[in-house]
Structures are given as structure tokens and as C-alpha cells.
Amino acid sequence: MKLNNFSKIIISLFIAVVLLWSFISFNSIQNSSINYYFSLGIGVVALFGGIFGLYNSKKWGSLRSSVGKSLFFISLGLLFWSLGTFIFGYYNIFLSIEAPYPSLADASYIISWPLWVIGMFYFIKATGAKFQLKKRIGRIIIFVIPIIVMVLSYYVLIIVARQGIITDGSGGVLKNFFDIAYPVGDVIILTITVLIYSLSFNYLGGFFKWPIIIIIGGFIFNYIADFIFIYTVTKETFYVGDFGDLFYVIAFFLLGLGVSLMDVNRLNDNILTNT
């Protein structure tokens, strides 16, 4: 897998943010401005990933091709998530609120979910996974995987992380909405990513294999990070820059790296016309 200039920038940013997290972790820093600037660093990684992904989307014809649409919506989701992180940082730094919830940051975060779902849907079309659905094994996979993911997610995100409570009824309509929306978004994204992996692993002679695996890995790490965040907030042990935030760094590094590697210039005309 050959790295391009975009991916090298994403890797450099990732290393810098991880080094900052290591400093925070090694020195057990929990309530310092360093924690908050680290959080902004996650947003910077997502921001650059979104920008690079949109640039690559344009090369694919933007909304005129399946790959272009996929990159467009996933990258736009990264930009909204980045915006949410910057808003979250504003609450941290200027309003001295460590874990604002619900807030304007959540309004930006939640917009990312439908954008990612749409983007991954077009990845299904672009990778040819839909053709696998015509086969018996494909129909079995699309029936079984959602059930497995829903059961797993209910246990992990509700029973374990939330101690069996989806919403406690406190905090008003807005809090209750986000309490439900985040787990549902996690379930949908994880289901789609697993389906893509199962149905289109070897499509296009493996050219798309690594960028797609990297993007799928990003969503899996985001799923784990959301679980850790929910769990630590429930246990009242959360702080900005904790172990869960490291998973967010990895998640958005992988998403940014994946869309950065989807460069049409590395494909021949024959592959391009087949998408």
C-alpha cells in the first residue's frame, strides 16, 4: 500500500496527537488545559481527513459516481464531527464545562451519523457488494449480521455501559433523544461496515481492500470509543484525554487515512469505468 502526501500528513498529525496523549497519560493529568488542547487535536485529525476526503471525492466526480458520493458523505461526516469537537473544546476551555451533554457539540456530532450511513451505503454500491446479495450466502449474511450486531450492541452499549437503562428520563427531551440516537447510530454504522467487509473483501482485485479495511477499522474503533465514553460518564470517571479518547484518536485517524488513500489517480481507466 503506497502512501500519498495526504496520508503522510494524516499520519504525522496522528503521531503528534498520540504523543500528547502519552504525555497526559504518563503524568496522570486530568484537569488541565493540556487535556482540552489534546481534545482539539482529535478534531484537527478529523478536519484534515475530511478535507482530503472531499478533495479525493472531487477527483472521482463528486456526486456523479458511487465512490465519489461515498467519499463525499464520509468526509462531510468527518467535518461535522470535527466541528463538534471544536465546540466541545469551547465548552471545556472557555466555559469550564468538562463534559457538556447535551450541547451544541452533540448537535454537530449527531449529524455525522446519517452522513456516514449514506457514505457507507454508496460504498456497498461502489464495491459491488450488492451483487453478492444475489447469492444465497449473501442473503444469509445480510439477515444474520444485523441480528448479531443488534444483540451485541444492546448488551455492550445498554446492559454494560448504561447498566440496563437506555434513558433515565432526566434532562429533558433533548437529552433523551441523544441517549437513544447515539446507540442507534452505532448499531447502524457497525452493521453496514461488517456487511461491506463480509460481502466485498476481494472486489476489484484487492485494490480497494486496504483503504476500505482502514475505514471499516475506523468505525469499529469509534464504536469502542463510544462504549468507553458512555461507560466512564455513567461511572463518573470520565475526563478529557482519558483512555477512551485514545480510541477516538485512532478512529478518526483511520477514517481520515482511509479516505485520503482513495485517490483516483492510482486507478486505471478500466477500474474507474467499472465503478
Q: What is the pLDDT along the chain (275 residues), one digit of tens a residue?
A: 678 889 999 999 999 999 999 999 999 998 888 999 999 999 999 999 999 999 999 998 888 888 899 999 999 999 999 999 999 999 988 888 877 878 899 999 999 999 999 998 888 777 665 555 556 555 566 667 778 777 887 787 778 777 777 666 666 677 778 777 888 888 888 888 777 766 665 554 456 678 888 988 999 999 889 888 888 877 888 888 999 999 999 999 999 999 999 887 765 444 444 44
Examine residue 219 and state whether it is found in any structural domain, yes or no. Answer: yes
CA distances from 46 to 29, 59, 126, 157 (A): 24, 20, 23, 24
End-to-end CA distance of the chain: 20
Match 503524568 to its residue by C-alpha cell.
27
Residue 272: per-residue pLDDT: 44
- Residue 195 · residue 144 · CB < 8 Å: no
Determine the Cα–Cα distance for residues 258 and 52; give it in Å rounded to an integer.
Answer: 10
**Which of these, 101, 99, 42, lies nearest to 253 by C-alpha position?**
42
Count the domains in the chain: 1
- Residue 49 · residue 255 · CB < 8 Å: yes
Examine residue 107 and state whether it is found in any structural domain, yes or no. Answer: yes
**Which of these, 253, 191, 198, 197, lies nearest to 221 by C-alpha position?**
253
Sign of the torsion angle spanned by Cα atoms 108, 112, 118, 122? positive
Examine residue 1 and state whether it is found in any structural domain, yes or no. Answer: no
CA angle 185, 44, 79 (to 5 degrees): 45
DSSP state of 168: -
Match 487515512 to its residue by C-alpha cell.
257
Residue 271: per-residue pLDDT: 47
Residue 273: per-residue pLDDT: 46
Identify the domain containing residue 246 by its residue range: 13-273
- Residue 167 · residue 179 · CB < 8 Å: yes
Examine residue 192 and state whether it is found in any structural domain, yes or no. Answer: yes
Determine the Cα–Cα distance for residues 219 and 215; give it in Å rounded to an integer.
Answer: 7
Residue 274: per-residue pLDDT: 47
Cis peptide bond N-terminal to 102, omega within 30: yes
Q: Is 231 helix (H, G, I), strand (E, B) or coil?
A: helix
Determine the Cα–Cα distance for residues 132 and 137; give it in Å rounded to an integer.
Answer: 8
Examine residue 2 and state whether it is found in any structural domain, yes or no. Answer: no
- Residue 2 · residue 266 · CB < 8 Å: yes
